[in-house]
């Protein structure tokens, strides 16, 4: 009789363990011993049920969720790859430079939109003045004594 492989086993001191999750946990722990792979099980949390990486906190504080994988269980290689890509200690300056480049591009796009809007407003104002002969924006005169 041939036995099928089991996906969950009982480990004394740990209880019932999902072997796939344990492999991922072991892989990310080897990458950085502060990382824990698990699942968000807080029913009030917006990421409830997502697989995630947590960072161990000092002084008995709860681990902090730092990276999520969604509802799909990642492979150990994918988990380590994503952890490495998000590692700010290792890639902090590269991530910061990319963020500055993205912000500069967004600022250029925003400035271009404002320039387009300014052009549109002046064209509308000029058109309204030509059509009606009345300035579209009332002019306000302030007496000298004020």
DSSP string over 94-146? HHHHHHHHHHHHHHHHHHHHHHHHHHHHHHHHHHHHHHHSS-SS------TT-
HSE-up (13 A, CA, CB side) for residue 33: 0
Mean pLDDT of the chain: 85
Looking only at the bridges linking them, the beta strands covering 15-18 and 8-11 are antiparallel
Count: domains in the chain:
2
pLDDT, residue 13, reads 81
Same domain (yes/no): 12, 50:
yes
pLDDT of residue 53 exceeding 90:
yes
Same domain (yes/no): 76, 105:
no
pLDDT of residue 51 exceeding 90:
yes
* pLDDT tens-digit series, residues 79-112: 999 999 888 778 778 888 888 999 999 999 999 8
Same domain (yes/no): 47, 60:
yes
Q: Which tokens hold the place of 35?
A: 């990382």
Q: How confident is the model at residue 124 (pLDDT cuts 50, 70, 90)?
A: confident
The whole-model pTM stands at 0.58
pLDDT, residue 135, reads 66
Same domain (yes/no): 17, 78:
yes
Higher pLDDT: 73 or 1? It is: 73
Same domain (yes/no): 21, 69:
yes
Q: 25 Cβ partners below 8 Å, 6+ apart?
A: 36, 37, 38
For residue 15, the enclosing domain spans 8-86
Higher pLDDT: 130 or 53? It is: 53
């Amino acid at each position: 009789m041939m036995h099928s492989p089991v996906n969950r086993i009982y480990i004394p001191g740990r209880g019932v363990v999902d072997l796939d999750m344990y492999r991922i946990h072991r892989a990310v722990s080897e990458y950085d011993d502060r990382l824990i792979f698990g699942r968000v099980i807080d029913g009030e949390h917006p990421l409830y049920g997502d697989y995630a990486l947590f960072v161990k906190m000092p002084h008995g504080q709860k681990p902090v969720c730092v990276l999520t994988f969604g509802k799909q269980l990642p492979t150990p290689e994918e988990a380590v790859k994503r952890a490495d890509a998000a590692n700010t200690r290792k890639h902090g300056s590269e991530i910061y430079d990319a963020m500055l480049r993205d912000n500069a591009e967004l600022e250029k796009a925003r400035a271009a939109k404002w320039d387009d809007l300014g052009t549109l407003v002046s064209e509308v104002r000029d058109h309204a003045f030509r059509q009606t002969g009345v300035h579209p924006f009332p002019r306000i005169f302030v007496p000298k004594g004020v």
